[in-house]
Amino acid sequence: MESIGTFLPLIAMMPFVGALFPGLMIQAGRNVCAMTAAVPTILAIIMLTICAPAVLDGEVLQFSLPWLPSLGLNVNFFLDGLGLLFAGLILGIGILIILYARFYLSRQDPMGQFYTYLLLFQGAMVGIVLSDNILLLLIFWELTSLSSFLLIGYWKHLPEGRQGARMALTVTGMGGLAMIAGMLILGNIVGSYDLTVILENKDAIQASPLYLPALLLILVGCFAKSAQFPFHFWLPHAMAAPTPVSAYLHSATMVKAGLFLMARMWPVLAGTPEWFYIVATTGLITMVLGAVIALFKDDLKALLAFSTVSHLGLITMLLGFGTPLAAVAAVFHIINHATFKAALFMTAGIVDHEAHTRDIKRLGGLRHLMPITFLIAMLAALSMAGIPLLNGFLSKEMMLEEAAHTVWAGSPWLVPALATLGALFSVAYSFRYIVHVFLGDVRQDYPSKPHDPDFGMWAAPGFLVLLVVLIGVLPAVAEPLVRTTAGAVVGGELPYFSLKIWHGLTPALFMSAIAVAGGALVLSIHSVLAPRWDAAPRPEAKQIFDAIARTATVFSRWLTDMLHNGSLSRFAAIFAVAVIAAGLFAWTGGEAGPPVREPLEIAAVPAIAWALLVLCSLGMLVFHRNRLLVLILMGVVGLIVSLAFIYFSAPDLALTQISVEVVTIILLLLALNFLPKVSPKESSPGRRLRDGVVAGAGGLAVAGLTYAILLGDFAQESISAFHLENSYSGGGGTNVVNVILVDFRGYDTFGEIIVLGIAALVIYALSQSVLGGAGGRWLASGELDSKKAGDRHPLMMVIASRVMMPIALMAGVYIFLRGHNEPGGGFIAGLVVAIALVMQYMASGFAWAVARQRVPYHTTIALGVMAACFTGVGAWFAGRPFLTSDFGYVTIPPLEKFELATAMAFDIGVFLCVIGAVMLALDSLSSMARRAGETVNQLPMDIDPARRSVANATDKMAVAAGKEA
Amino acid sequence: MNHWIIAPVVLPALMAAVIVLAMRHHQGLQRIFSLGACFALVAIAIGLFVESASGRIGVYELGNWPAPFGIVLVLDRLSALMVLITSVLALVVVLYAIGSDWDARGHHFHALFQFQLMGICGAFLTGDAFNLFVFFEVLLIASYGLMIHGGGGRRFRAGLQYVLYNLLGSTLFLFALGTLYAVTGTLNMADLAVRVAELPANDTALLRVGAMLLLLVFAIKAALLPLHFWLPETYAEAPAPVAALFAIMTKVGAYAILRMYTLVFGPDAAVTGELTGPWFLAAALVTLGVGMIGVLGASKLGRLAAFSAIGSMGTLLIAISVFTPETTQAALYYMIHSTIAGAMMFLVVDLVRERRGAVGDALVPAPAMAQHGLLAALFFGAAIASAGMPPLSGFIGKLLILDAVRGSEHVWLIWSVILATTLVAVLGFAQAGSKVFWKTTNPEEPSAAAGEDDPAPTPAVTMPRLPLVATGALLAASVLLSVFAGPVNGFLSATADQLYNSEIYVSGVLGAR
């Protein structure tokens, strides 16, 4: 039978594949759309029918495909009696709903979406009942929650629809998540996530200490899905969906998923006291509660919704009893409930559709106006009430029979009494559905004059009612299915039972009689009871849920906004505290080695420099609102750091540091031009104290870390020895620092010059963005309050910079060339040349200077990156890795023999990148200045010296002339 | 010598330089070359991925200097995987940026984008701790530029915070590296691993501080609480394609943690083994919680997406923090998923924002927008992926993590937090989605039954094809990741094994010793 097994994934996939089409085919019309939705369902039904005989013969069809074997998640399907029943219900009622919905939905409703969602849901449901892997089952389980969310919220313009959808998703989603945990535990106990394996391990599961948690978690999932107390409240609110959805999801299928799973797990989970007390009690409470509430609902669909809750409770209770006969009754009632309840929902939908109201108070007397609907509704409702010759009677009798034998905590009468009470109210609301809607006098004030709908609309409920009657009269028809299904639920031999109408004068018959009589009585005094019920205070689940959801949202918003209030100083404070704490934790967990080195003697000059450093830093703290002063102090700090490098014999670093300092300070000075001169006072004293403490602790921590490092030594030999040894022989240079930069770790330098280049590009892009936006308008408005220099481009400076220019360039070239063997190199050379250029710009203005040189700075940067890149790539042609250097000695007369290294080409890249980056940054700042009204001068200096003297002379003469006059 | 290993670094660097040099005034050319480079990068990444699948460690000694004295690039399964994810994401993002004209809203988008890719790929490929710092700098500085691309006051403000916070991180990185070098005298990761293992027991405090600081640096990138504060504003305000690309940036942090804390400071390392003890897990759990609470509490779609990114990093870091091969395998799967889902969410949010005019991404009802139904479907997909619901890859990722942490002593805590936060996220996404897509106001036409089949009430905004292709590609990727979860996990399992057998890496880099 392996070949038949391959139908299983097809049955499950068919609706999903089919879901793609209705949304498209709606363009061809509503009938075509409905038919497109029906085709996959029919195909699935056909395949199921092919499988059915084998299953009814007791076979279990299987299909297996590894999906994620390492997790134990596999595409395993199996079909036994239980799966067959549910798949049949889902697909069978599904096709009826598709038919019904075609006529129910109006032209304004997007029908394509509806069928797409419906088929998605159908596929998910079929997947649940066919899964032979609990992880796969979980996937389908969550899919039902998601697709039902879409279905319930289908009428998205209705607030109730949206709220109901969210509520259903939240509650069933919560259940689903609990179930994930439960299933994982279960799989953990058994060692497999395959359902067939799990079902064989009853003893292992029930003996496990994790049995109870697993049971609870799984039951939460089932109860939430099947609307069991206390999770029942979402179901009535889901009724905001179009009626076909209610009929499908909330009578026949989704809410039965929980029941299905309890039935599926019955062989391994049932039979323990925990199971009995949790499941049976919950079912009992739900049954009674639902029935009572249903009676007092005036909305037809609400009445049916609570009656569904009640009936689900009934089935849950039966499963909870844990006896095989109760399981048989449960299975039978699942079938019966699906038939009559789907029919009832559809009739409610017809009434709503025709009379334009579902309010029982506004209805009555419809039997004359809608005879066909009345007939269907009456039969279905009587079946729900448990009247003989209809299928509801049979299963209700079996339920009462089982209840009569059930002892709850030593009390033999509690369960039967409550079951009878539930049945009594069930009769009452069923009768009410008939009496208050269809009987009585014809009214004149219906919102719309009702009449029977087209055949298409009543065909589906009519067919279901036929089944209701057929099973009710000839219960033997359903017996094979019930037997197979119940056998699958129990997972073993079934005790003797027979589905028949007359069992003799059993206790159940008396209970049933009491229920019918009592129900009729209760209905007769309904008009008395209803106002009291309405007046009685009771918790409104929706309000509680809404309050919780709202509180959670408000709390979340508060917490999130409170934590992320956008205050950078607070973020930084948290950062500092976290880092210090983690650092201390790490330090204290280890052992600090003894100091290896002696501290150096403190000499006078370094001490002075140190004091200056400290003073400047403190000064920055004190005067930090005066930005110009802070910048000057920063310059001092930078210079002292450079001095420190010299003191510790690191001339390369010192050179770099000094030139970087110069460039940075110049750029910052220019940037300051566009900023307020004084930092505003924003922090309260308390905040400053907090920040001070945090900053102080951070400073101390860093100082401590540095001190510890300085007193220690490498625990193992450092790699620097290799660099010293190989600098000349391998890198062709005696300046190890430079060889490290361009050769040993040239790749780092490659990255760093790119960082520099990117920085310049970012500055450029940023300034362009600013100029294009509000910032540009502000600059142009002239509000930038800056005192202009009296003499922007002074003569002395212009002359001096001109003289310095060739010297500085020569120094740059010199520094560049000596780099490989003496302190220097492309980076420093680039900075030196950049400073030389910057001086020209400062002297005569940027625009003046830029007009006199041809290469755009973008290009310089790009060329620099490419030079470095191609130097690196060049090594490939020698079969060496990126950036492998080579060097040799050449003699070009009349020069002496000198060394050429490929590293030099790389260094040219560095050089170009640095120049380009600095100049592009300068360019960006200057473009902002021009926007602020800075004029572009045509001449190298503000005033032509020659003309100035003439002008002065003329002035003096004028003054003199004035005096004389 | 396999030069392809360095191609993911050299190619984008060169391409960026060429774009700046030759076509900075030609938007069309920039697009063509940038897109071409992204395609080439994908091809290269696939090649490297296939090569790494053999299990051999590919080593590339830059400048031909032997490890540990020079810098090495190392291609193992993990780095190849990360480069592959990056390249695919980059391709999708660049398609979106071109199609949505985001790249034309400022200067140098494509150059910065290529530099960004260079930085990310370099960080994944390097086998040298200091070089990692360099490439962190490359990717950060490029990201600064990308983040403020297009300008605007709010974006500048967020960008400033981003820059400053990450400068703190960079400084810390230097402290950490200085400390580690001061103790061990080396920077090569494999060499570090050897030396840390041989460290004398009486001199461990400094090394531990260095290791811890390093972890914090990576935690900043990975948005671990309480070091995540840079993320929400940055991601919410960044241009959409950039935010989508940033989905991989947080993963750089996660990658670096995995790399350093399996190779150098592995769970077996006597000195630093317990450094990542319970606090790391606790912080990850809180990260997840704060992220998903942020999703529920968000008042704008942009922030919702940002907090969902934090939440997903929390989930990822939970799995990482347990440090077993199984959890790492699950973490890697989730990492792929989270990159896809995060990017998708940002792109969808952008599509919505662009169509809602003045309302933007605020979670308030507005008139139905153009392509309303399509966007609703895309958002639904992105939300499902982000919340970790089936049938998209988030669900399998979560199942893998839940299953893998069963060995942990904190399994109940982890399960509770992950499942509870999933519910919070589901609620958050459902509320946001129903506000934006269901609760539409309809000023012109009061009849409420507006659906995707009705003519759009707002002036039609055409849907350019490329953004749709890009977003759809991410959705498809998530589906494929689910469908092919088996083979993917086969590779990831091998990846995790390779990570926890660090001697393979060490001997691959330093040679048999």
CA–CA distance, A407 with A396 (Å, rounded to integer) = 19
Listed in sequence order, the residues at least 6 apart from A751 whose beta carbon sits closer than 8 Å to its beta carbon are B119, B122, B131, B134, B135, B137, B138
Residue A959 has pLDDT above 60, yes or no: no
Show the tokens assigned to A26.
């709606």
Among residues A335, A414, A422, which one has the least CA distance to residue A385?
A422
Show the tokens assigned to A550.
């709202």
Contact B202 A593 (CB under 8 A): yes
Which residues of chain B does A720 touch, with a Cβ-Cβ cutoff of 8 Å?
A: 185
- Domain ranges within chain B, ordered by starting residue: 6-443+463-510
Alpha carbons within 13 A on the beta-carbon side of A413: 0
Contact B165 A885 (CB under 8 A): no
A865 in contact with chain B, both atoms CB, cutoff 8 A? yes
Q: Residue window 551-570, chain A: list those with CB within 8 Å of chain B.
A: 552-561, 563-564, 566, 568
CA–CA distance, A86 with A261 (Å, rounded to integer) = 11
* Alpha carbon of A879: minimum distance to chain B alpha carbons (Å): 8
Give Cα A141 distance to the centre of its chain: 19
What ipTM was predicted for this assembly? 0.91
Query: Of A25, A68, A217, which to mutate for an interface test with B (greatest number of B Cβ within 10 Å)?
Result: A68
Show the tokens assigned to A246.
């209610």
Query: Of A560, A714, A764, A907, which to mutate for an interface test with B (greatest number of B Cβ within 10 Å)?
Result: A560
Q: What is the pLDDT of residue A447?
A: 82
Q: What is the pLDDT of residue B456?
A: 39
Comparing alpha-carbon positions, the chain A residue that sits nearest to B329 is A70
Comparing alpha-carbon positions, the chain B residue that sits nearest to A27 is B453
**Phi, psi dihedral angles at A306 (to 5 degrees):** -70, -30
Listed in sequence order, the residues at least 6 apart from A912 whose beta carbon sits closer than 8 Å to its beta carbon are A830, A860, A861, A863, A864, A867
Which residues of chain A does B156 touch, with a Cβ-Cβ cutoff of 8 Å?
A: 770
Which residues of chain A does B150 touch, with a Cβ-Cβ cutoff of 8 Å?
A: 769
For chain B, the maximum distance between any two Cα atoms, rounded to a whole number of angstroms, is: 80
Contact A708 B212 (CB under 8 A): no
Contact A884 B145 (CB under 8 A): no
A240 in contact with chain B, both atoms CB, cutoff 8 A? no
Among residues B269, B261, B126, which one has the least CA distance to residue B188?
B126
Comparing alpha-carbon positions, the chain B residue that sits nearest to A703 is B175
CA–CA distance, A903 with A907 (Å, rounded to integer) = 6
* CB nearest B209 (choices: A138, A161, A583): A583
Interface contacts A/B by beta carbons within 8 Å = 405
pTM of this structure = 0.91
Average of per-residue pLDDT across A759-773: 87
Q: For chain A, what is the radius of gyration of the CA atoms?
A: 44
The single-letter DSSP state of residue A76 is E
Q: What is the pLDDT of residue A895?
A: 77
Query: Of A758, A779, A866, which to mutate for an interface test with B (greatest number of B Cβ within 10 Å)?
Result: A758
CA–CA distance, A867 with A742 (Å, rounded to integer) = 13
A126 in contact with chain B, both atoms CB, cutoff 8 A? no
The single-letter DSSP state of residue A65 is E
N- to C-terminal Cα separation, chain A: 130
Is there a contact between A741 and A914 (Cβ–Cβ < 8 Å)? no
Average of per-residue pLDDT across A409-421: 86
| Average pLDDT in chain A | 86
Contact B427 A590 (CB under 8 A): no
Average of per-residue pLDDT across A140-169: 88
Contact B424 A563 (CB under 8 A): no
Show the tokens assigned to A316.
């849950």
Coil vs helix vs strand at B177: helix
Full DSSP string of A142-211: HHHHHHHHHHHTSSTT-HHHHHHHHHHHHHHHHHHHHHHHHHHHHHHHHT--BHHHHHT-HHHHHHSTTH
Full DSSP string of A119-151: HHHHHHHHHHHHBSBHHHHHHHHHHHHHHHHHH
Coil vs helix vs strand at A345: helix
* Alpha carbon of A578: minimum distance to chain B alpha carbons (Å): 7
Contact B62 A180 (CB under 8 A): no
Residue A837 has pLDDT above 50, yes or no: yes
Contact B185 A715 (CB under 8 A): yes
Q: What is the pLDDT of residue B382?
A: 92
Contact B406 A184 (CB under 8 A): yes
Contact B230 A863 (CB under 8 A): no
Listed in sequence order, the residues at least 6 apart from A584 whose beta carbon sits closer than 8 Å to its beta carbon are A701
Is there a contact between B319 and B418 (Cβ–Cβ < 8 Å)? no
Residue A965 has pLDDT above 70, yes or no: no
Among residues A491, A86, A495, which one has the least CA distance to residue A268?
A491
User: Per residue in A894-932, pLDDT tens?
Assistant: 877 777 778 888 888 999 999 899 988 888 888 888 787
User: Per residue in B408-442, pLDDT tens?
Assistant: 888 999 999 999 999 999 999 998 998 888 888 76
A572 in contact with chain B, both atoms CB, cutoff 8 A? yes
A876 in contact with chain B, both atoms CB, cutoff 8 A? yes
Q: SS3 breakdown of chain B: % helix, strand, coil, rounded to 5? A: 75, 5, 20
Q: How confident is the model at residue A944 (pLDDT cuts 50, 70, 90)?
A: low
Listed in sequence order, the residues at least 6 apart from B183 whose beta carbon sits closer than 8 Å to its beta carbon are A712, A714, A715, B199, B203, B206, B207, B210
Show the tokens assigned to B484.
């092919």
User: Per residue in A41-77, pLDDT tens?
Assistant: 999 999 999 988 888 888 888 888 889 888 888 899 9
Pairing of strands A61-68, A73-79: antiparallel
Query: Of B110, B296, B431, which to mutate for an interface test with A (greatest number of A Cβ within 10 Å)?
Result: B296
Show the tokens assigned to B11.
């190619």
Contact A560 B290 (CB under 8 A): yes
CA–CA distance, A657 with A645 (Å, rounded to integer) = 9
Q: What percent of chain A has pLDDT over 70?
A: 96
* Alpha carbon of A564: minimum distance to chain B alpha carbons (Å): 7
Report residues of chain B scoring pLDDT below 50.
445-460
Is there a contact between B252 and B173 (Cβ–Cβ < 8 Å)? no
Which residues of chain B does A138 touch, with a Cβ-Cβ cutoff of 8 Å?
A: 390, 399
Full DSSP string of B259-299: HHHHHTS-TT-TTTGGGGSHHHHHHHHHHHHHHHHHHHH-S
User: Per residue in A611-634, pLDDT tens?
Assistant: 999 999 999 988 888 888 999 999
**Distance of CA A323 to CAs A263, A314, A728, Å?**
12, 15, 91
Contact B165 A708 (CB under 8 A): no
CA–CA distance, B235 with B312 (Å, rounded to integer) = 14
CA–CA distance, A747 with A733 (Å, rounded to integer) = 17
Q: What is the pLDDT of residue B82?
A: 94
